Amino acid sequence: MSSQSFCRFTPLIASLPSTVPFVGPEAIERQTGKAVLARIGANESGFGPSPRAMAALSEAAADIWKYNDPENHALKMALAAHHGVKPDNLAIGEGIDDLLGLTVRLVIEPGLPVVTSFGGYPTFNFHVNGFGGRLVTVPYRDDREDLDGLLEAVKRENAPLVYFANPDNPMGSWWDATDVVRFARALPETCLLILDEAYGETAPANAIPPADALIDLPNVLRMRTFSKAYGLAGARIGYAIGMPGTVSAFDKIRNHFGMVRSSTAAALAALSDQAYLRQVIGRIAVARERIAAIATENGLTALPSATNFVAIDCGRDQPFARAIVDGLMQHGVFIRMPGVAPLNRCIRVSAGLEPDLDLFAESLPKVLAALR
């Protein structure tokens, strides 16, 4: 076999580099030979899913020989009741990442502009590049996505697609719901808004628009997930909320048998256990306070966060922040950092269990002492 690649890839695919938007902790373990002892870098929930979800996973395992319901009827009905919308306002996908890729495929042809924030969620950019879109990026302002800048770029470029996350990854910042609604309603009706609310459960109540605030706009898709506060990142369950004529377009291109039967059962059980979700949200808030205190104790500055992680301003530049990330890994602490300036002066630490944060608190001053 030749080491050369297959010769009939499309010109677009042949022109793209192989990309892994996020290097996983498993790959870092292989590269460094160091075991991850505190996995607090991928914004997963170390608190785990609801016991009901775990029981549902176990019970559903015996039926794994069956395909999942391709219409996702039960989950749509449950989510509709939870959010106060109708089942035909919902599309189910294999995590938000799957729905992002499908949305780009629905709207973008090669060369069309797509507006997003410079330094925002890189997996979205990966999908845009993969379908030949032209990224138009707007810098953050005061560590928040710049709504006015995004709107101006959409109008200037006549862009058919714009991405905005609230709360934001990687900075943990957020906008009030009134500002989000104002932004959505100011967009041209020819521009589809992806409003990524992956961290909606951990946000202040005034940050997330009510379900009925945007449901009348055909050019808005709100994305939610079971990967964060619900603790089901490995199950890959996400969903989009929008007008029926918009969300039904996913049926034209989605993988109708892509959902995992046991994952769907776990999501239904997790959704039914809101008491457990509230407990987890409380534990996340406590962990954020602990992370902020550790940062302060070490002369660093924790930024306000509405997510299940905290961005910490290291006060210098990218090489310094990167050295902290790499140094912590030498102690078995896996964290991440934003990818572009000026955000990459920061590190990002996920909410975790007490032993994880204990190891972070023990290791960070050692790493900083070695660097200083």
pLDDT digits (tens, 9 = 90+) for 352-361: 999 999 999 9
**Whether residue 156 has pLDDT greater than 70:** yes
| pLDDT level of residue 21 (50, 70, 90 thresholds) | confident
Over residues 332-359, the pLDDT tens digits come to 999 999 999 999 999 999 999 999 999 9
- 10: exposed, middle or buried (Cβ count in 10 Å: 0-12, 13-18, 19+): exposed
Mean model confidence pLDDT for the chain: 96
Are 291 and 349 in contact, with CB atoms under 8 Å apart? yes
- Nearest partner of 78 among 245, 270, 216, judged by Cα: 270
The pLDDT of 101-112, averaged and rounded, is 98
User: What's residue 20's pLDDT?
Assistant: 83
User: What's residue 5's pLDDT?
Assistant: 74
Determine what percent of the chain is predicted with pLDDT higher than 90. 95
User: What's residue 4's pLDDT?
Assistant: 74
User: What's residue 1's pLDDT?
Assistant: 40
Least confident of 22-36, 54-68, 188-202, 278-292: 22-36
**Whether residue 2 has pLDDT greater than 60:** no
Say which amino acid occupies 10: T
Over residues 24-44, the pLDDT tens digits come to 999 999 999 999 999 999 999
**CA-CA-CA-CA torsion sign (78, 83, 85, 88):** negative
- Other beta carbons within 10 angstroms of residue 5's beta carbon come to 10
Q: Name the token pair of 77.
A: 């009905």
| pLDDT level of residue 137 (50, 70, 90 thresholds) | very high
- Nearest partner of 304 among 202, 177, 179, judged by Cα: 202
How far, in Å, CA of 355 to CA of 75, rounded?
Answer: 35
3-state secondary structure of 248: helix
User: How many CA atoms lie less than 13 Å away from 69 in the CB half-sphere?
Assistant: 10
How far, in Å, CA of 186 to CA of 5, rounded?
Answer: 46
The pLDDT of 238-255, averaged and rounded, is 98
For the chain, which residues make up each domain, given as ranges?
A: 11-48+275-371, 61-272
Determine what percent of the chain is predicted with pLDDT higher than 70. 99
Prediction pTM value:
0.96
**Which residue matches tokens 């109008």?**
155
The pLDDT of 158-175, averaged and rounded, is 98
Q: Between the CA of residue 116 and those of 109, 139, 223, what are the distances in Å?
A: 17, 9, 15
User: What's residue 319's pLDDT?
Assistant: 98
| Domain 61-272: top CATH class | alpha beta
Phi, psi of 222 (to 5 degrees): -100, 125
Instruction: Strand 309-313: give its sheet, edge to edge.
Output: 301-302, 309-313, 346-350
The CATH number of 11-48+275-371 is 3.90.1150.10
Nearest 10 degrees: Cα torsion 5, 7, 8, 10: 70
User: What's residue 3's pLDDT?
Assistant: 60
**Whether residue 219 has pLDDT greater than 90:** yes
* Residue burial 124-133, b: 16+ Cβ < 10 Å; e: rest: bbbbbbbbbb
Over residues 277-320, the pLDDT tens digits come to 999 999 999 999 999 999 999 999 999 999 999 999 999 999 99
User: What's residue 6's pLDDT?
Assistant: 81
**Which residue matches tokens 């709100």?**
222
The pLDDT of 51-55, averaged and rounded, is 98
For residue 293, give every residue at least 6 positions away whose Cβ sits within 8 Å of its Cβ, in sequence order, or none: none
User: How many CA atoms lie less than 13 Å away from 207 in the CB half-sphere?
Assistant: 21
